[in-house]
């Protein structure tokens, strides 16, 4: 940082996003904060700051203004393109024109969350939509007695909060970051406007909501008709991937209390059922994986109870 005198007043020369501009310290802090939260909005803020600062510059300083503005325009274009590219990681916005994306992001802001930090809590009165640029979050329902049920886990390219944006009702669940995550927070008005004005986005949103609704229906049926053992089998099948040789593997294995929260039971019940299945030779429990030696036999046990030959459905979709 260096100092320049403009009409008897000391101003600060700041370098932000490779743009050299004459602005006072307060304006510098405002710009940096806006740039961190919303790169697109910050480009307009810097334009205004430059224009206001021009009045305080002496003649020699003013001659460099066109060059500064040109460099600012180049930086602004780069910032906007970078922000749009990050949003392309969210499949919902694939193919949306850059102009619409720029308008969509104008009111957005970015925020980083650490592992274990609460993003939203049940009962919160807000209607923003959260787009996961990096990281992962877990959606949890909690009772006043301390009982927890995991409703979903979402990762890079997915989003949440759309229900509150659509119906305006308070948050129905807690959302907590599983790891260090960067989220783009979009006002409900902007989300609804883009959805209604872009048919392909609206159709994708309907399909995603339908997929989530089917998954919830599947869970509801499991809670109603399956035993703890069968619910645990269904969850292990969902989490597993093909290992070859007719086996499937869950790696890394989730903690038993997490499995319990997924299937609405207690950790002790999960431990007991895993031990019994291991003794029967149906699976092997290791520190780094759970190997399902007879996945088809396990699947048949669930299907016999549900009466469906395609259970669990999410495993069929995953292949």
Note the pLDDT tens digit of each residue in 176-217. 999 999 999 999 999 999 999 999 999 999 999 999 999 888
Note the pLDDT tens digit of each residue in 73-103. 455 455 566 667 777 778 899 888 888 888 8
Return the higher-pLDDT residue of 67 and 168.
Answer: 168
Q: Where are the alpha helices (DSSP H) in the chain?
A: 25-37, 39-54, 59-62, 65-87, 98-105, 162-167, 188-197, 199-225, 228-239, 256-263, 267-279, 295-306, 313-318
The pLDDT of residue 115 is 96
With cut-offs at 50, 70 and 90, classify the pLDDT of residue 306: confident
Cα 238 to Cα 102: distance, rounded to the nearest angstrom: 38
2: three-class secondary structure by DSSP: strand
Question: Residue 119: pLDDT above 80?
Answer: yes
Q: Does domain 226-318 have CATH number 3.30.2350.10?
A: no
Asked if 186 contacts 129 with a C-beta cutoff of 8 angstroms, the reply is: yes
The pLDDT of residue 218 is 87
Question: Residue 291: pLDDT above 90?
Answer: yes
In the chain, pLDDT over 70 holds for what percent of residues? 71
The CATH homologous superfamily for domain 99-220 is Jelly Rolls (2.60.120.10)
Asked if 25 contacts 32 with a C-beta cutoff of 8 angstroms, the reply is: no
In the chain, pLDDT over 90 holds for what percent of residues? 54
Return the higher-pLDDT residue of 277 and 96.
Answer: 277
Note the pLDDT tens digit of each residue in 130-149. 999 999 999 999 877 778 88
In the chain, domain spans: 2-86, 99-220, 226-318
Cα 133 to Cα 180: distance, rounded to the nearest angstrom: 11
């Amino acid at each position: 940082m260096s100092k320049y005198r403009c009409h008897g007043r000391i101003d600060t020369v700041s370098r932000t996003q490779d743009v050299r501009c004459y602005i006072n310290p307060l304006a510098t802090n405002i710009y940096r904060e806006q740039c961190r939260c919303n790169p697109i909005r910050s480009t307009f803020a810097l334009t205004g700051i430059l224009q206001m600062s021009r009045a305080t510059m002496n003649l020699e300083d003013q001659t460099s203004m066109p060059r500064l503005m040109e460099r600012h325009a180049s930086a602004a274009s780069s910032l906007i393109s970078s922000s749009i590219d990050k949003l392309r990681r969210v499949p919902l916005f694939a193919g949306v024109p850059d102009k619409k994306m720029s308008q969509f992001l104008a009111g957005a802001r970015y925020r980083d969350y650490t592992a274990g930090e609460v993003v939203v809590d049940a009962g919160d009165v807000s209607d923003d939509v959260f787009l996961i640029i990096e990281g992962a979050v877990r959606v949890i329902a909690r009772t006043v007695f301390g009982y927890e049920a995991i409703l979903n886990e979402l990762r890079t390219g997915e989003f949440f909060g759309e229900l509150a944006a659509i119906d305006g009702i308070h948050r129905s669940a807690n959302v907590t970051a599983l790891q260090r995550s960067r989220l783009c927070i979009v006002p409900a008005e902007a989300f609804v406007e883009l959805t209604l004005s872009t048919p392909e986005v609206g159709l994708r949103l309907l399909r995603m909501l339908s997929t989530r609704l089917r998954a919830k229906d599947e869970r509801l049926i499991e809670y109603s008709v399956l035993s703890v053992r069968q619910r645990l089998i269904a969850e292990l099948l969902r989490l597993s991937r093909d290992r070859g040789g007719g086996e499937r593997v869950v790696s890394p294995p989730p903690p038993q209390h997490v499995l319990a929260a997924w299937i609405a039971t207690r950790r002790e019940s999960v431990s007991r059922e895993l031990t019994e299945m291991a003794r029967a030779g149906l699976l092997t429990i290791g520190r780094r994986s759970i190997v399902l030696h007879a996945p088809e036999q396990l699947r048949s046990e669930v299907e016999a109870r549900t009466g469906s030959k395609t259970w669990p459905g999410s495993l069929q979709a995953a292949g």
